[in-house]
A and B are shown apart, each in its own frame.
Chain A
Protein backbone atom coordinates (compact mmCIF):
# COMPACT_ATOMS: atom_id res chain seq x y z
CA UNK A 1 0.00 0.00 0.00
CA UNK A 2 1.24 3.47 -0.89
CA UNK A 3 0.37 6.58 1.12
CA UNK A 4 0.14 9.23 -1.56
CA UNK A 5 -0.17 11.97 1.05
CA UNK A 6 3.19 11.18 2.70
CA UNK A 7 6.65 12.24 1.54
CA UNK A 8 9.69 10.72 3.23
CA UNK A 9 12.68 13.04 3.44
CA UNK A 10 16.25 12.30 4.35
CA UNK A 11 19.12 14.72 4.48
CA UNK A 12 22.47 12.99 4.09
CA UNK A 13 26.16 13.70 4.22
CA UNK A 14 29.09 11.33 4.06
CA UNK A 15 26.97 8.21 4.37
CA UNK A 16 26.33 7.13 0.79
CA UNK A 17 28.46 4.06 1.25
CA UNK A 18 27.61 3.25 4.85
CA UNK A 19 24.17 3.72 6.36
CA UNK A 20 22.09 5.50 3.71
CA UNK A 21 21.43 2.25 1.80
CA UNK A 22 19.99 0.84 5.03
CA UNK A 23 17.57 3.75 5.22
CA UNK A 24 16.40 3.26 1.64
CA UNK A 25 16.04 -0.49 2.16
CA UNK A 26 13.93 0.17 5.24
CA UNK A 27 11.71 2.54 3.26
CA UNK A 28 11.24 -0.05 0.53
CA UNK A 29 10.35 -2.71 3.07
CA UNK A 30 7.65 -0.70 4.83
CA UNK A 31 4.29 -2.45 4.95
CA UNK A 32 2.80 0.92 4.09
CA UNK A 33 5.08 3.05 1.94
CA UNK A 34 5.38 6.77 1.35
CA UNK A 35 4.32 8.02 -2.06
CA UNK A 36 7.45 10.13 -2.46
CA UNK A 37 11.03 10.08 -1.21
CA UNK A 38 13.29 13.13 -1.28
CA UNK A 39 16.99 12.64 -0.62
CA UNK A 40 18.85 15.87 0.12
CA UNK A 41 22.48 15.33 -0.81
CA UNK A 42 24.56 17.57 1.43
CA UNK A 43 27.92 16.22 0.33
CA UNK A 44 30.53 18.76 -0.76
CA UNK A 45 31.02 17.03 -4.09
CA UNK A 46 28.18 15.63 -6.12
CA UNK A 47 28.01 12.04 -7.20
CA UNK A 48 25.52 10.70 -9.71
CA UNK A 49 24.08 7.88 -7.68
CA UNK A 50 22.45 6.39 -10.74
CA UNK A 51 25.94 5.29 -11.77
CA UNK A 52 26.53 3.65 -8.40
CA UNK A 53 25.80 -0.08 -8.58
CA UNK A 54 24.10 -0.25 -5.17
CA UNK A 55 21.98 2.83 -5.73
CA UNK A 56 21.10 1.76 -9.26
CA UNK A 57 19.48 -1.28 -7.68
CA UNK A 58 17.90 0.65 -4.85
CA UNK A 59 16.40 3.26 -7.14
CA UNK A 60 15.00 0.58 -9.44
CA UNK A 61 13.57 -1.09 -6.38
CA UNK A 62 11.93 2.16 -5.25
CA UNK A 63 10.40 2.46 -8.72
CA UNK A 64 9.25 -1.13 -8.59
CA UNK A 65 7.39 -0.75 -5.28
CA UNK A 66 5.79 2.50 -6.40
CA UNK A 67 7.76 5.16 -4.53
CA UNK A 68 8.59 8.27 -6.54
CA UNK A 69 12.04 9.38 -5.56
CA UNK A 70 14.21 12.36 -6.19
CA UNK A 71 17.76 13.23 -5.19
CA UNK A 72 18.05 16.93 -4.54
CA UNK A 73 21.22 18.92 -4.19
CA UNK A 74 21.34 20.01 -0.57
CA UNK A 75 22.09 23.48 0.66
CA UNK A 76 25.43 22.26 2.07
CA UNK A 77 24.84 24.41 5.09
CA UNK A 78 23.61 21.65 7.34
CA UNK A 79 20.47 19.64 7.76
CA UNK A 80 18.27 22.47 9.07
CA UNK A 81 18.40 24.21 5.70
CA UNK A 82 17.44 20.97 4.01
CA UNK A 83 14.58 20.35 6.44
CA UNK A 84 13.28 23.84 5.71
CA UNK A 85 13.58 23.22 1.99
CA UNK A 86 11.60 20.04 2.43
CA UNK A 87 8.85 22.05 4.11
CA UNK A 88 8.71 24.28 1.06
CA UNK A 89 9.15 21.62 -1.62
CA UNK A 90 7.04 18.76 -0.35
CA UNK A 91 3.57 18.81 -1.83
CA UNK A 92 1.94 16.18 0.38
CA UNK A 93 0.11 16.87 3.65
CA UNK A 94 2.51 14.75 5.68
CA UNK A 95 6.30 14.54 5.94
CA UNK A 96 8.09 11.54 7.32
CA UNK A 97 11.48 12.82 8.44
CA UNK A 98 14.23 10.24 8.47
CA UNK A 99 17.82 10.35 9.62
CA UNK A 100 20.50 8.98 7.32
CA UNK A 101 21.49 6.30 9.82
CA UNK A 102 18.02 5.00 10.70
CA UNK A 103 16.69 1.50 10.24
CA UNK A 104 12.93 1.57 10.59
CA UNK A 105 11.02 -1.56 11.48
CA UNK A 106 8.71 -2.60 8.67
CA UNK A 107 5.47 -1.41 10.28
CA UNK A 108 6.80 2.00 11.32
CA UNK A 109 5.05 4.19 8.79
CA UNK A 110 1.90 2.07 8.98
CA UNK A 111 1.57 2.55 12.73
CA UNK A 112 2.61 6.19 12.77
CA UNK A 113 0.22 7.10 9.96
CA UNK A 114 -2.67 5.05 11.38
CA UNK A 115 -2.37 7.01 14.59
CA UNK A 116 -1.78 10.42 13.03
CA UNK A 117 -4.45 10.17 10.35
CA UNK A 118 -7.06 9.20 12.91
CA UNK A 119 -6.31 11.96 15.40
CA UNK A 120 -7.03 15.36 13.93
CA UNK A 121 -5.11 17.20 16.64
CA UNK A 122 -1.86 15.30 16.11
CA UNK A 123 0.89 17.50 14.77
CA UNK A 124 3.66 14.93 14.91
CA UNK A 125 4.18 11.38 16.04
CA UNK A 126 7.46 9.61 16.64
CA UNK A 127 8.69 6.09 17.28
CA UNK A 128 11.11 4.79 19.87
CA UNK A 129 14.61 5.51 18.62
CA UNK A 130 16.90 2.80 19.90
CA UNK A 131 20.63 2.31 19.64
CA UNK A 132 21.27 -1.39 18.91
CA UNK A 133 24.67 -1.13 20.58
CA UNK A 134 23.24 0.28 23.76
CA UNK A 135 19.88 -1.30 24.54
CA UNK A 136 18.38 0.64 27.39
CA UNK A 137 15.26 -0.79 28.95
CA UNK A 138 13.80 1.92 31.11
CA UNK A 139 14.71 4.73 33.45
CA UNK A 140 12.49 6.76 35.72
CA UNK A 141 14.61 9.75 34.70
CA UNK A 142 13.42 9.59 31.09
CA UNK A 143 11.29 12.56 30.16
CA UNK A 144 10.09 14.43 27.10
CA UNK A 145 8.83 17.34 29.14
CA UNK A 146 10.41 20.55 27.96
CA UNK A 147 11.45 21.57 31.48
CA UNK A 148 13.51 18.35 31.70
CA UNK A 149 15.39 19.01 28.48
CA UNK A 150 18.78 19.29 30.18
CA UNK A 151 18.43 15.95 31.92
CA UNK A 152 19.22 14.65 28.48
CA UNK A 153 17.43 11.34 28.78
CA UNK A 154 14.26 11.09 26.76
CA UNK A 155 11.69 8.34 26.71
CA UNK A 156 12.20 7.60 23.04
CA UNK A 157 15.58 6.02 23.84
CA UNK A 158 14.02 3.45 26.17
CA UNK A 159 12.68 0.15 24.99
CA UNK A 160 10.27 -0.84 27.77
CA UNK A 161 7.15 1.17 28.48
CA UNK A 162 3.84 0.45 30.13
CA UNK A 163 1.90 2.93 27.99
CA UNK A 164 1.46 2.38 24.26
CA UNK A 165 0.92 6.07 23.50
CA UNK A 166 2.75 8.80 25.39
CA UNK A 167 1.97 12.45 24.75
CA UNK A 168 5.06 14.61 24.94
CA UNK A 169 6.17 18.24 24.83
CA UNK A 170 8.74 17.68 22.12
CA UNK A 171 10.13 14.89 20.00
CA UNK A 172 13.78 14.02 20.04
CA UNK A 173 15.74 12.16 17.47
CA UNK A 174 15.36 13.30 13.94
CA UNK A 175 12.73 10.88 12.72
CA UNK A 176 9.02 11.44 13.05
CA UNK A 177 5.92 11.85 10.92
CA UNK A 178 4.42 15.31 10.97
CA UNK A 179 1.60 17.32 9.50
CA UNK A 180 2.79 20.16 7.27
CA UNK A 181 -0.09 22.28 8.49
CA UNK A 182 1.36 22.06 12.00
CA UNK A 183 4.77 23.27 10.84
CA UNK A 184 3.99 26.69 9.44
CA UNK A 185 6.46 28.19 11.92
CA UNK A 186 9.26 26.41 10.05
CA UNK A 187 12.77 25.75 11.23
CA UNK A 188 15.08 28.25 12.86
CA UNK A 189 17.62 28.97 10.15
CA UNK A 190 19.95 30.71 12.60
CA UNK A 191 20.99 27.29 13.87
CA UNK A 192 24.40 26.07 12.83
CA UNK A 193 25.29 23.22 10.52
CA UNK A 194 24.95 20.74 13.38
CA UNK A 195 21.38 21.86 14.01
CA UNK A 196 21.64 21.15 17.71
CA UNK A 197 18.15 21.02 19.31
CA UNK A 198 16.49 21.83 16.00
CA UNK A 199 13.88 19.11 16.39
CA UNK A 200 13.10 20.18 19.95
CA UNK A 201 12.50 23.78 18.85
CA UNK A 202 10.57 22.62 15.80
CA UNK A 203 8.27 20.20 17.57
CA UNK A 204 7.76 22.18 20.79
CA UNK A 205 6.59 25.09 18.66
CA UNK A 206 3.95 22.72 17.26
CA UNK A 207 2.89 21.88 20.77
CA UNK A 208 2.69 25.56 21.69
CA UNK A 209 0.48 26.11 18.67
CA UNK A 210 -1.98 23.60 20.09
CA UNK A 211 -0.98 20.45 18.24
CA UNK A 212 -0.66 17.12 19.96
CA UNK A 213 2.73 15.37 19.90
CA UNK A 214 2.88 11.69 20.66
CA UNK A 215 5.31 8.79 20.90
CA UNK A 216 4.16 5.30 19.96
CA UNK A 217 6.09 2.91 22.14
CA UNK A 218 5.35 -0.14 20.02
CA UNK A 219 7.08 1.41 17.01
CA UNK A 220 10.82 1.05 16.82
CA UNK A 221 13.42 2.74 14.71
CA UNK A 222 17.00 1.65 15.16
CA UNK A 223 19.55 4.42 15.23
CA UNK A 224 22.87 3.14 13.94
CA UNK A 225 24.72 6.21 15.26
CA UNK A 226 27.29 5.76 12.57
CA UNK A 227 30.51 7.47 13.64
CA UNK A 228 31.33 9.20 10.40
CA UNK A 229 29.29 11.57 8.30
CA UNK A 230 25.97 13.13 9.23
CA UNK A 231 25.79 15.70 11.99
CA UNK A 232 29.05 14.45 13.48
CA UNK A 233 31.04 15.56 10.48
CA UNK A 234 30.96 18.96 12.20
CA UNK A 235 32.63 18.27 15.50
CA UNK A 236 33.12 21.89 16.47
CA UNK A 237 31.90 22.29 20.05
CA UNK A 238 31.40 25.98 19.41
CA UNK A 239 28.61 25.18 16.97
CA UNK A 240 26.76 23.26 19.66
CA UNK A 241 27.29 26.10 22.12
CA UNK A 242 26.10 28.62 19.57
CA UNK A 243 22.93 26.60 18.99
CA UNK A 244 22.39 26.26 22.73
CA UNK A 245 22.47 30.05 23.04
CA UNK A 246 19.64 30.23 20.55
CA UNK A 247 17.84 27.52 22.46
CA UNK A 248 18.16 29.46 25.71
CA UNK A 249 16.56 32.44 23.97
CA UNK A 250 13.61 30.21 23.15
CA UNK A 251 13.38 29.01 26.73
CA UNK A 252 13.10 32.60 27.87
CA UNK A 253 10.40 33.37 25.32
CA UNK A 254 8.56 30.18 26.21
CA UNK A 255 8.94 30.96 29.94
CA UNK A 256 9.91 27.38 30.63
CA UNK A 257 11.10 26.82 34.19
CA UNK A 258 14.07 24.60 33.56
CA UNK A 259 14.56 21.85 36.10
CA UNK A 260 18.02 22.08 37.60
CA UNK A 261 19.53 18.73 38.44
CA UNK A 262 22.45 17.46 40.45
CA UNK A 263 23.41 13.91 39.63
CA UNK A 264 25.79 12.00 41.88
CA UNK A 265 26.83 8.48 40.95
CA UNK A 266 28.02 6.51 43.98
CA UNK A 267 30.27 3.84 42.58
CA UNK A 268 31.39 2.34 45.87
CA UNK A 269 30.69 -0.10 48.66
CA UNK A 270 28.10 0.02 51.42
CA UNK A 271 30.53 1.87 53.69
CA UNK A 272 31.11 4.53 51.06
CA UNK A 273 27.35 4.99 50.73
CA UNK A 274 26.97 5.47 54.48
CA UNK A 275 29.94 7.86 54.67
CA UNK A 276 28.37 9.90 51.88
CA UNK A 277 24.96 9.74 53.54
CA UNK A 278 25.99 10.76 57.02
CA UNK A 279 28.45 13.54 56.21
CA UNK A 280 27.89 14.84 52.70
CA UNK A 281 24.22 14.46 51.89
CA UNK A 282 22.87 17.03 54.38
CA UNK A 283 25.25 19.65 52.96
CA UNK A 284 24.40 18.66 49.38
CA UNK A 285 20.68 19.01 50.12
CA UNK A 286 21.33 22.45 51.54
CA UNK A 287 23.47 23.63 48.63
CA UNK A 288 21.20 22.20 45.95
CA UNK A 289 17.90 22.99 47.64
CA UNK A 290 16.43 24.17 44.33
CA UNK A 291 17.69 21.19 42.30
CA UNK A 292 16.47 17.71 41.66
CA UNK A 293 19.09 15.69 43.49
CA UNK A 294 19.56 12.35 41.81
CA UNK A 295 21.73 9.71 43.47
CA UNK A 296 22.92 6.75 41.44
CA UNK A 297 23.33 4.06 44.06
CA UNK A 298 24.59 0.50 44.29
CA UNK A 299 22.86 0.17 47.68
CA UNK A 300 19.61 2.16 47.44
CA UNK A 301 18.41 0.85 50.83
CA UNK A 302 20.89 3.26 52.44
CA UNK A 303 18.60 6.08 51.27
CA UNK A 304 15.27 4.45 52.08
CA UNK A 305 14.29 6.98 54.72
CA UNK A 306 15.39 10.06 52.78
CA UNK A 307 13.04 12.63 51.35
CA UNK A 308 13.89 15.28 48.81
CA UNK A 309 16.19 13.11 46.71
CA UNK A 310 15.70 10.60 43.92
CA UNK A 311 17.60 7.35 44.03
CA UNK A 312 18.23 5.48 40.80
CA UNK A 313 20.60 2.72 39.78
CA UNK A 314 24.24 3.57 39.24
CA UNK A 315 23.82 2.61 35.57
CA UNK A 316 20.98 5.09 35.10
CA UNK A 317 22.92 7.92 36.68
CA UNK A 318 25.88 7.16 34.45
CA UNK A 319 23.71 7.88 31.44
CA UNK A 320 23.81 11.49 32.62
CA UNK A 321 27.27 11.98 34.11
CA UNK A 322 30.72 10.49 33.83
CA UNK A 323 31.30 7.84 36.48
CA UNK A 324 35.08 8.18 36.44
CA UNK A 325 34.92 11.90 37.08
CA UNK A 326 32.90 11.10 40.18
CA UNK A 327 35.25 8.47 41.61
CA UNK A 328 35.86 9.69 45.15
CA UNK A 329 38.99 7.60 45.63
CA UNK A 330 40.62 9.07 42.53
CA UNK A 331 39.51 12.50 43.74
CA UNK A 332 41.13 11.97 47.17
CA UNK A 333 44.26 10.45 45.66
CA UNK A 334 44.75 13.42 43.39
CA UNK A 335 44.59 15.78 46.37
CA UNK A 336 46.55 13.72 48.89
CA UNK A 337 43.43 13.90 51.00
CA UNK A 338 43.95 13.60 54.76
CA UNK A 339 40.51 14.30 56.16
CA UNK A 340 37.70 11.76 56.43
CA UNK A 341 36.01 9.94 53.58
CA UNK A 342 32.72 11.66 54.40
CA UNK A 343 34.42 15.05 54.35
CA UNK A 344 35.83 14.20 50.93
CA UNK A 345 32.35 13.58 49.55
CA UNK A 346 31.16 16.78 51.15
CA UNK A 347 34.02 18.82 49.70
CA UNK A 348 33.71 17.32 46.25
CA UNK A 349 30.03 18.07 45.92
CA UNK A 350 29.59 21.30 47.86
CA UNK A 351 32.78 23.36 47.58
Chain B
Protein backbone atom coordinates (compact mmCIF):
# COMPACT_ATOMS: atom_id res chain seq x y z
CA UNK B 1 0.00 0.00 0.00
CA UNK B 2 1.29 3.45 -0.92
CA UNK B 3 1.61 6.03 1.83
CA UNK B 4 1.00 9.75 1.33
CA UNK B 5 1.98 12.39 3.86
CA UNK B 6 -0.44 15.31 4.10
CA UNK B 7 0.39 18.77 5.41
CA UNK B 8 -2.87 20.55 4.65
CA UNK B 9 -2.62 23.92 6.36
CA UNK B 10 -0.43 26.98 6.08
CA UNK B 11 0.44 28.97 9.17
CA UNK B 12 -2.53 30.48 11.01
CA UNK B 13 -2.96 34.18 10.36
CA UNK B 14 -2.68 36.74 13.13
CA UNK B 15 -6.03 38.28 12.21
CA UNK B 16 -7.84 34.96 12.74
CA UNK B 17 -8.97 34.73 9.12
CA UNK B 18 -8.50 31.71 6.88
CA UNK B 19 -5.07 31.64 5.30
CA UNK B 20 -5.56 32.25 1.54
CA UNK B 21 -3.13 29.39 0.89
CA UNK B 22 -5.38 26.77 2.51
CA UNK B 23 -6.97 24.31 0.06
CA UNK B 24 -10.79 24.19 0.37
CA UNK B 25 -11.32 20.62 -0.90
CA UNK B 26 -9.34 18.44 1.50
CA UNK B 27 -12.33 16.34 2.54
CA UNK B 28 -13.08 15.46 -1.09
CA UNK B 29 -9.42 14.77 -1.81
CA UNK B 30 -9.04 12.48 1.20
CA UNK B 31 -12.10 10.53 0.09
CA UNK B 32 -10.58 10.08 -3.37
CA UNK B 33 -7.25 8.96 -1.90
CA UNK B 34 -8.97 6.51 0.43
CA UNK B 35 -10.94 5.10 -2.49
CA UNK B 36 -7.66 4.57 -4.34
CA UNK B 37 -6.37 2.46 -1.45
CA UNK B 38 -3.76 4.99 -0.39
CA UNK B 39 -2.69 5.21 3.25
CA UNK B 40 -2.81 8.82 4.53
CA UNK B 41 -0.82 10.34 7.36
CA UNK B 42 -1.83 13.88 8.21
CA UNK B 43 0.49 16.13 10.18
CA UNK B 44 -0.51 19.36 11.85
CA UNK B 45 0.01 21.88 14.59
CA UNK B 46 -1.59 21.47 17.98
CA UNK B 47 -4.66 23.54 17.01
CA UNK B 48 -5.24 21.81 13.68
CA UNK B 49 -8.12 19.38 13.16
CA UNK B 50 -7.98 16.08 11.31
CA UNK B 51 -9.58 16.06 7.87
CA UNK B 52 -12.64 13.81 7.85
CA UNK B 53 -11.58 10.42 6.55
CA UNK B 54 -8.01 10.64 7.86
CA UNK B 55 -7.27 7.74 10.22
CA UNK B 56 -3.71 8.71 11.14
CA UNK B 57 -3.40 12.27 12.42
CA UNK B 58 -0.18 13.35 14.13
CA UNK B 59 0.13 16.71 15.85
CA UNK B 60 2.96 18.70 17.32
CA UNK B 61 5.75 16.62 15.81
CA UNK B 62 9.37 17.67 16.01
CA UNK B 63 10.99 18.64 12.73
CA UNK B 64 13.15 15.53 12.92
CA UNK B 65 10.02 13.37 13.16
CA UNK B 66 8.47 15.07 10.13
CA UNK B 67 11.69 14.56 8.24
CA UNK B 68 11.50 10.82 9.01
CA UNK B 69 7.91 10.71 7.78
CA UNK B 70 9.01 12.43 4.57
CA UNK B 71 11.69 9.82 4.10
CA UNK B 72 9.30 6.95 4.74
CA UNK B 73 6.31 8.07 2.67
CA UNK B 74 5.89 7.42 -1.04
CA UNK B 75 4.92 11.00 -1.73
CA UNK B 76 3.48 14.00 0.04
CA UNK B 77 0.89 16.71 -0.52
CA UNK B 78 0.89 20.20 0.92
CA UNK B 79 -0.20 23.73 0.28
CA UNK B 80 2.48 26.39 -0.09
CA UNK B 81 3.95 25.86 3.36
CA UNK B 82 7.11 24.70 5.13
CA UNK B 83 6.96 21.06 3.97
CA UNK B 84 8.13 21.74 0.42
CA UNK B 85 11.11 23.71 1.75
CA UNK B 86 11.97 20.97 4.21
CA UNK B 87 11.70 18.33 1.52
CA UNK B 88 13.94 20.34 -0.81
CA UNK B 89 16.49 20.65 1.99
CA UNK B 90 16.64 16.89 2.60
CA UNK B 91 15.27 14.18 0.35
CA UNK B 92 13.92 16.16 -2.62
CA UNK B 93 11.28 13.47 -3.00
CA UNK B 94 8.68 14.45 -5.55
CA UNK B 95 5.53 15.78 -3.94
CA UNK B 96 2.40 17.63 -4.95
CA UNK B 97 2.07 21.26 -3.88
CA UNK B 98 -1.23 23.09 -4.17
CA UNK B 99 -0.77 26.75 -5.00
CA UNK B 100 -3.42 29.42 -5.31
CA UNK B 101 -2.29 33.03 -5.03
CA UNK B 102 1.42 32.57 -4.38
CA UNK B 103 3.77 32.07 -7.27
CA UNK B 104 5.33 28.59 -7.57
CA UNK B 105 8.20 30.07 -9.58
CA UNK B 106 9.22 31.91 -6.42
CA UNK B 107 8.03 29.72 -3.58
CA UNK B 108 8.02 26.29 -5.22
CA UNK B 109 10.61 23.75 -6.35
CA UNK B 110 10.98 22.19 -9.75
CA UNK B 111 11.22 18.64 -8.44
CA UNK B 112 7.58 18.79 -7.34
CA UNK B 113 4.27 18.89 -9.15
CA UNK B 114 3.20 22.47 -8.49
CA UNK B 115 -0.53 22.81 -9.10
CA UNK B 116 -1.55 26.35 -9.99
CA UNK B 117 -5.00 26.83 -11.45
CA UNK B 118 -4.13 29.95 -13.38
CA UNK B 119 -1.63 32.77 -13.20
CA UNK B 120 -4.47 35.29 -13.16
CA UNK B 121 -5.11 34.32 -9.54
CA UNK B 122 -1.62 35.20 -8.38
CA UNK B 123 -1.68 38.11 -5.99
CA UNK B 124 -0.03 41.26 -7.19
CA UNK B 125 2.07 41.75 -4.10
CA UNK B 126 3.78 38.39 -3.73
CA UNK B 127 5.85 39.43 -0.72
CA UNK B 128 3.29 41.21 1.40
CA UNK B 129 1.71 39.71 4.48
CA UNK B 130 -0.99 37.10 3.96
CA UNK B 131 -3.18 39.08 6.31
CA UNK B 132 -3.30 41.67 3.52
CA UNK B 133 -4.83 39.18 1.07
CA UNK B 134 -8.42 37.96 0.75
CA UNK B 135 -9.25 34.27 0.57
CA UNK B 136 -10.34 33.18 -2.92
CA UNK B 137 -11.77 29.69 -3.28
CA UNK B 138 -11.81 30.04 -7.07
CA UNK B 139 -8.02 30.22 -7.11
CA UNK B 140 -7.62 26.52 -6.35
CA UNK B 141 -7.58 23.47 -8.58
CA UNK B 142 -10.12 20.76 -7.83
CA UNK B 143 -9.71 17.75 -5.58
CA UNK B 144 -9.83 15.59 -8.71
CA UNK B 145 -6.88 17.45 -10.24
CA UNK B 146 -4.80 16.93 -7.12
CA UNK B 147 -5.83 13.27 -6.95
CA UNK B 148 -4.80 12.73 -10.56
CA UNK B 149 -1.43 14.36 -9.90
CA UNK B 150 -0.83 12.15 -6.88
CA UNK B 151 -1.66 8.99 -8.83
CA UNK B 152 0.74 10.07 -11.53
CA UNK B 153 3.54 10.65 -9.03
CA UNK B 154 2.82 7.24 -7.50
CA UNK B 155 2.61 5.67 -10.95
CA UNK B 156 -0.78 4.22 -10.09
Whether A340 sits at the interface, judged by CB under 8 Å, is yes
Count residues of chain A with CB under 8 A from any CB of chain B: 23
* CB-based contact A338/B85 at 8 Å: no
| B62 CB contacts on chain A under 8 angstroms | 301
Whether B39 sits at the interface, judged by CB under 8 Å, is no
* CB-based contact B88/A269 at 8 Å: no
Please report the number of residue pairs spanning A and B whose Cβ atoms sit closer than 8 angstroms.
Answer: 58
B36 CB → nearest A CB, Å: 28
Which of B64, B88, B105, B106 makes the CB contact (< 8 A) with A274? B88
* CB-based contact A341/B128 at 8 Å: no
Give A278 to B138 CA distance when docked, in angstroms: 33
Whether A329 sits at the interface, judged by CB under 8 Å, is yes
* CB-based contact A333/B125 at 8 Å: yes
Given A299-B63, A333-B125: A270 and B105 interface contact (C-beta under 8 Å): no
Whether A15 sits at the interface, judged by CB under 8 Å, is no
* CB-based contact A277/B127 at 8 Å: no
* CB-based contact A278/B105 at 8 Å: no
Give A275 to B108 CA distance when docked, in angstroms: 10
A157 CB → nearest B CB, Å: 32
Query: Digit string of A298-316 for contact with B (CB within 8 Å is 1, else 0)?
Result: 0101101000000000000
Whether B75 sits at the interface, judged by CB under 8 Å, is no
B9 CB → nearest A CB, Å: 13
23 sample A-B contacts, Cβ–Cβ < 8 Å, listed by A number: A269-B11, A270-B82, A270-B85, A270-B86, A271-B84, A271-B85, A274-B85, A274-B86, A275-B88, A278-B85, A278-B88, A299-B63, A302-B63, A329-B127, A333-B125, A333-B126, A338-B103, A338-B106, A340-B106, A340-B108, A340-B109, A341-B106, A341-B107
For window 71-87 of chain B, which residues contact chain A by CB distance below 8 Å? 81-86
Whether A337 sits at the interface, judged by CB under 8 Å, is yes
Count residues of chain B with CB under 8 A from any CB of chain A: 22
| A339 CB contacts on chain B under 8 angstroms | 105-106
Give A338 to B102 CA distance when docked, in angstroms: 12
Contacts A270-B82, A271-B81, A340-B108 known; list 14 others, CB within 8 Å: A270-B63, A270-B85, A274-B88, A277-B89, A304-B64, A329-B127, A332-B126, A332-B127, A333-B126, A337-B127, A338-B106, A339-B105, A339-B106, A340-B105
* CB-based contact B64/A275 at 8 Å: no
B interface, by DSSP: helix, strand, loop or mixed? helix
B97 CB → nearest A CB, Å: 11
A330 CB → nearest B CB, Å: 7
Give A342 to B107 CA distance when docked, in angstroms: 8
| B11 CB contacts on chain A under 8 angstroms | 269
Given A269-B11, A340-B107: A333 and B127 interface contact (C-beta under 8 Å): yes
Whether A272 sits at the interface, judged by CB under 8 Å, is yes
| CB closest residue in chain A, given B88 | A278
| A333 CB contacts on chain B under 8 angstroms | 125-128
* Residue of A273, A277, A340 with most partner-chain B CB within 10 A: A340
| A271 CB contacts on chain B under 8 angstroms | 81-86
Given A337-B106, A339-B106: A274 and B82 interface contact (C-beta under 8 Å): yes
Give A270 to B61 CA distance when docked, in angstroms: 13
Give A277 to B126 CA distance when docked, in angstroms: 21
* CB-based contact B89/A278 at 8 Å: yes
For window 95-147 of chain B, which residues contact chain A by CB distance below 8 Å? 103, 105-109, 125-128
| A337 CB contacts on chain B under 8 angstroms | 106, 127
Give A272 to B103 CA distance when docked, in angstroms: 15
| CB closest residue in chain A, given B103 | A338
Give A274 to B109 CA distance when docked, in angstroms: 12
* CB-based contact B85/A275 at 8 Å: yes
B103 CB → nearest A CB, Å: 8
| A329 CB contacts on chain B under 8 angstroms | 127-128
| A278 CB contacts on chain B under 8 angstroms | 85, 88-89
